[in-house]
């Protein structure tokens, strides 16, 4: 196995475990780090098989969703590039949910966005991951003891959503979860939070808004 294959395997493994991947990119101008966050598939009772017991690190109380990163400003730009009105609508609804919390103001841009919202097909449709967010943050600079984000790209895996028969509302919940990562939030230990590692039927809730209030104060 060459180095590239080895690192690819390690990233896939880390994503499967729900771990944050931190690596120094080789082709970067500013000093930045990368991280990856994913949403676990939750299978319906009618679909045989059990939910993986693998969990990602989630700390703190369920009443406030923890954060590891934040944007410098509470105004954060986004661009939806899904190619379908179905998914554009899903992302728009997810944006509305976070904006309704009154902490951050996500605004659309036609230029280079802070957060890019999209869909793709997972090359591992059995991986148990239905959504994923890749982000970068500046090394060294911190606000409220949180890393300051430089970019984020969130995806919903269309093939995985379809395979596990996610409804439009459930895909919107996945979109909200990924957008939560794109805003710097981590997993919440409680199932009431949209940031529970394996969310399916939960939407943005009080702990999630409190998490934003804490990190964007």
Q: Which residues form the interface with Zn ion (CB under 5 A)?
A: 37, 39
User: Mutual orientation of helices 168-182 and 85-100 as an angle, nearest 10°?
Assistant: 60
**Shortest CB 106 distance to Zn ion, Å:** 18
> 157, 165, 118: which is closest to 39 by C-alpha?
157
> 62, 65, 43, 212: which is closest to 129 by C-alpha?
43
HSE toward the beta carbon, residue 43, CA cutoff 13 A? 13
**Shortest CB 199 distance to Zn ion, Å:** 8
**Shortest CB 138 distance to Zn ion, Å:** 22
**Shortest CB 117 distance to Zn ion, Å:** 15
> 130, 216, 142: which is closest to 170 by C-alpha?
130
Nearer to Zn ion, 37 or 114 (CB): 37
Distance CA 25, CA 196 (A): 29
Nearer to Zn ion, 16 or 48 (CB): 16
Q: Are strands 75-80 and 32-40 parallel, antiparallel or unpaired?
A: unpaired
User: Which residue number is nearest to Zn ion in terms of Cβ?
Assistant: 37
Q: Count H helices, E strands: the chain?
A: 5, 7
Nearer to Zn ion, 108 or 189 (CB): 189
Nearer to Zn ion, 37 or 176 (CB): 37
Nearer to Zn ion, 109 or 149 (CB): 149
**Shortest CB 205 distance to Zn ion, Å:** 15
């Amino acid at each position: 196995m060459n180095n590239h294959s080895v690192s690819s395997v390690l990233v896939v493994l880390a994503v499967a475990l729900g771990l944050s991947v931190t690596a120094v990119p080789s082709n970067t101008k500013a000093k930045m780090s990368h991280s990856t966050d994913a949403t676990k598939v939750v299978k319906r009772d009618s679909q045989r098989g059990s939910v993986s017991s693998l969990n990602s690190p989630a700390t703190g109380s369920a009443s406030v969703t923890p954060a590891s990163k934040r944007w410098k400003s509470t105004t954060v730009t986004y661009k939806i590039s899904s190619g379908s009105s179905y998914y554009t609508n899903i992302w728009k609804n997810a944006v509305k949910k976070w904006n309704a919390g009154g902490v951050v103001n996500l605004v659309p841009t036609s230029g280079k966005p802070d957060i890019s919202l999209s869909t793709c097909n997972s090359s591992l449709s059995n991986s148990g991951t239905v959504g994923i967010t890749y982000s970068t943050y500046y090394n060294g600079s911190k606000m409220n003891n949180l890393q300051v984000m430089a970019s984020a790209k969130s995806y919903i895996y269309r093939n995985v959503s379809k395979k596990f028969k996610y409804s439009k509302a459930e895909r919107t919940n996945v979109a909200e979860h990924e957008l939560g990562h794109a805003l710097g939030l981590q997993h919440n230990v409680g199932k009431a939070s949209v940031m529970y590692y394996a969310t399916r039927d939960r939407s943005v809730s009080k702990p999630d808004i409190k998490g934003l209030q804490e990190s964007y104060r």
